[in-house]
A and B are shown apart, each in its own frame.
Chain A
Amino acid sequence: MIDYLVSVLTEGSIFAIMALGLNIIWGWSGDFDLAFYGYVALGAYMTLVLTIGPATSPTTYILGLSLPFPIAVAIAVISSMLLALIVGAIALRHLRGIYFSIVTLGAVYVLYTFAGQFVPLFNGYNGLSGLFDPMGDFFNLDFTSYPFFYLGLCVAVLLVVLFLVTRLSGSRFGLALRSLREDERAAAAFGRGIYVMKLKAYVIGAGIGGLGGALFAGYLSAFNPSAWSPVETIVLYAAILVGGRGSNRGVVLGVAVMVMGLQEATRYLPEIANQPSFAPALRLILTGVILVLFIRFRPQGLLPERRLRDKDPAGTGGAAVAVEGSVAGATLDTGAA
């Protein structure tokens, strides 16, 4: 039971990291990016080829190094960011809304097919495996204590990411990004270089996605095209929407509800004879129903995005206003009104 709980929490933390990255792109900058899982996948693949050592026949893949796990993760994150820079530079230049989404969807399918068909790259559809218990030897961990260590690692990384994105969110950088989401032309009229700002957000978000992918590779110890399909991105979108688009705490809560909660709640349903696909199908149906209900009744999500609030009741207090965790001297209130 405890092993089970550990694995659920580990997976949840990894998905929360990915969702926080996607939240920068969709939640703040406002771009409905369908290529996001590509960055996650590239992070995972790169981590594997950098750690599992040279390929032995019949498997083939590039690099085949045996770098320490943290260094591999760092390179993986940079790779994801570079890929995002290329895709983003093309897709964000002139395209918005559904046109942007279609181009990113195209990009991720190219990547997906390429990874699957071009065997010398990441061993095609068979994928990569062999990353067992990263850093386990270094800390002298055996197979019973290792899952706890990896859970701790993932939670620690999640907390660091959460800290950093919260910082970004409350900064003028975050605020200016939101103004792009709200009205791009007005943002340009007030001096914001839309393309560069959106591209920055895109690359940062993809980097966090790649980090999530790297940890995912360590958790699964393997990765292949069947582990990721572009549809996976929808799960992340569902989590962000339910939790609260733009809100970091909301996104983490959304992952807890939509990824961990829903997945695990439907796991123990009674098996129906001759219908083994009943539970997964029900899970998808429930995801859809929950999404529709949220969009209809609570589009701002469970924990809506915060806004800068001036708490001085008279609004005349000036410099006496407390400056805490805020950009403009006004304190950041929890409510979203």
Chain B
Amino acid sequence: MTALLEVQDLHKHFGGVQAVTACSFTAAEGQITGLIGPNGAGKSTAIDLISGFKVPDSGTVRFEGKEVQGRPPHVVSRMGLIRTFQSPREWPALSVLENLILACFEPRRERFWRALWGPSRAEKERANEQLIQARAVLDEFGLLHLRNERAGNLSGGQKRLLEFGRIRMAKPRLVILDEPMGGVNPVLGERMASAVLGFVPSGTSVVIVEHNLPFIERVTDQVVVMAEGRVIAEAPFDQLRGNQAVVDAYLGEMPTYDDADA
């Protein structure tokens, strides 16, 4: 397993608040890495620092061996690292189909002069392929009948699925999912678990921030635990139960996946 993402000694403070302190962890290629910790542990800040939405005070972030810290978010995204947000951020006035199609960033086709001149034959074919692909993805997530709907009209759960659909279209090397299970019911949760598990075979490794521990236990290969801005443990989930620091900081009385089902 090679490290796809290497975070080393990341620091970030906001005023007097040290949000992230000496945060270091790695996410391996072809794996699903969980990032857990109590509220205020610095998980969201860490994601912002990795994806370029915030600039770290110090430390390095290596993605596929290249340093990306401090680069703007669109550059990081173009390198193949895409993130989602805590609340779904669909493009509300655009249709579900448009939301999917725009998930693929295609600089050549988005140029002003190209737009004025009109698409070439090859680009029209590409557009058609993309449409077929988008339909397949929508079908997989059960959104096909809503493809012409305004994305803003979807329910909260459907928006989560749409976000997953966009990731499937974009095919990044790594996706960072920020609390994808927030406000999702158990039935949909099942669908999302299988979607997350489906990312890896399609070539997308996953880092997932989540408070739903049964979900983390089910889908992750490796878990990074943060507390008070630091990484306090990095291990497969079942080994964390024996780690006193983790139990004290976060887990406490931990339910198992079976308990949650009951």
The residues of A with any CB-CB pair to B shorter than 8 Å are 164, 167-168, 171-176, 178-179, 181-183, 185-194, 200, 204, 305, 307-310, 315-316, 318-319, 321, 323, 326-330, 337
A172 interface neighbour in B73, B92, B106, Cβ under 8 Å: B106
A190 cross-chain contacts in B, Cβ below 8 A = 77, 82, 102-103, 105, 166, 170
B110 interface neighbour in A176, A329, A330, Cβ under 8 Å: A176
Q: Please list 9 pairs of residues, one from A and one from B, whose beta carbons are closer than 8 Å in the complex, sorted by A's number.
A: A171-B114, A182-B91, A185-B73, A185-B89, A190-B103, A310-B97, A318-B131, A328-B134, A329-B124
Number of interface residues of B (CB under 8 A): 53
Tally A-B pairs: CB < 8 A. 144
In Å, the complex CA distance between A330 and B118 comes to 16
> A182, B93: Cβ atoms under 8 Å?
yes
> B114, A173: Cβ atoms under 8 Å?
yes
B53 cross-chain contacts in A, Cβ below 8 A = 185, 188
> A305, B135: Cβ atoms under 8 Å?
no
The residues of B with any CB-CB pair to A shorter than 8 Å are 51, 53, 72-75, 77-78, 82-85, 89-95, 97-98, 101-103, 105-106, 109-112, 114-116, 118-119, 124, 127-128, 130-132, 134-135, 138-139, 144-145, 147-150, 166, 170
Shortest distance between the CB of B32 and any CB in chain A (Å): 20
> Which residue of chain A has its CB nearest to the CB of B166?
A190
A308 cross-chain contacts in B, Cβ below 8 A = 95, 97-98, 101
In Å, the complex CA distance between A315 and B84 comes to 27
A186 interface neighbour in B78, B90, B114, B149, Cβ under 8 Å: B90
In Å, the complex CA distance between A181 and B93 comes to 9
A176 interface neighbour in B51, B83, B102, B118, Cβ under 8 Å: B102
> A189, B73: Cβ atoms under 8 Å?
yes
- With contacts A309-B148, A310-B147 known, is A189 near B77, CB below 8 A? yes
> B74, A329: Cβ atoms under 8 Å?
no
> A191, B105: Cβ atoms under 8 Å?
yes
> A193, B72: Cβ atoms under 8 Å?
yes
In Å, the complex CA distance between A229 and B262 comes to 69
